[in-house]
Amino acid sequence: MKKTPLLVLALAVAPAFAANQDEAMTALAKNAGCLTCHHIEPGAKGPDGMAPIGPAWRDVAAKYKGVKGAQAQLTATVMKGSSPYESHWKGQVSGLSMPPNAVAIKEADAKKLVGWILALETKK
Ligand code: HEC
């Protein structure tokens, strides 16, 4: 019985932590300029009603679900940029490739952000 209050506290804190995490990650993405090209939710249009410049992050989560090493691979892509000759989202986005973001975000932060992106649940 002694342990009950701690357990109750942990249960109450967990959702608040998740919400804070969402806020922190959204702020990080905004500050690093990611949200100029990316939406979190699929379906939103880019400038002039064209396809969005980059893939929606919920779509990224769906594409790499269960893929081993996705976090490391995507963190490297975010830092170094993607190759227009090897587009992973051809035809789905209006941007040809992602420029390197190393000037805008630290690698450790990019890794955290990518981890958060990959954990986004796919909308049913
Ligand atoms: C100038 C526009 C632009 C900015 C800024 C940008 N991206 Fe991208 N991003 C793209 C495009 C375009 C693609 C699609 C590349 C492709 O087709 O392979 C992409 C792809 C991605 C992917 C998937 C890569 C893959 O190989 O499937 C992730 C993850 C991602 N971006 C995260 C980020 C993060 C995090 C930031 C901010 C630090 C960011 N992006 C900033 C345009 C951008």
Q: Report in angstroms the alpha-carbon separations of 13 from 18, 21, 30, 47, 56.
A: 9, 12, 26, 39, 29
* Residue 124 belongs to some domain of the structure: no
- For residues 82 and 100, give the distance between their C-alpha atoms in angstroms, rounded to a whole number: 7
* Residue 54 belongs to some domain of the structure: yes
**Looking at residue 62, what is its pLDDT?**
96
* Residue 40 belongs to some domain of the structure: yes
93-109: pLDDT as tens digits: 999 999 999 999 999 99
Q: Where are the alpha helices (DSSP H) in 32-66?
A: 57-63
0.85 exceeded by pTM: yes
* Residue 20 belongs to some domain of the structure: yes
**Looking at residue 44, what is its pLDDT?**
82
42-86: pLDDT as tens digits: 988 877 788 889 999 999 999 999 999 999 999 999 999 999 999
- Looking from the CA of 113 toward its CB, the CA atoms found within 13 Å total 29
Distance 99 CA to ligand 1 centre (A): 8
Whose alpha carbon is nearest atom 2 of ligand 1?
37
The number of distinct structural domains making up the chain is: 1
pLDDT of 31 over the 90 cut: yes
Distance 62 CA to ligand 1 centre (A): 15
pLDDT of 12 over the 90 cut: no
CATH of the domain at 74: 1.10.760.10
The closest alpha carbon to 83, from 97, 94, 103, belongs to: 97
List the Cα angle 43/20/53 in 5-degree steps.
Answer: 25
DSSP, res 34? G
* Residue 92 belongs to some domain of the structure: yes
Mutate to test the pocket of ligand 1, among 37, 40, 96 (most ligand atoms within 8 A of CB): 37
Which domain does 96 fall in, by range? Answer: 4-118
Burial status of residue 25 (CB atoms within 10 A of its CB: 0-12, 13-18, 19 or more): buried
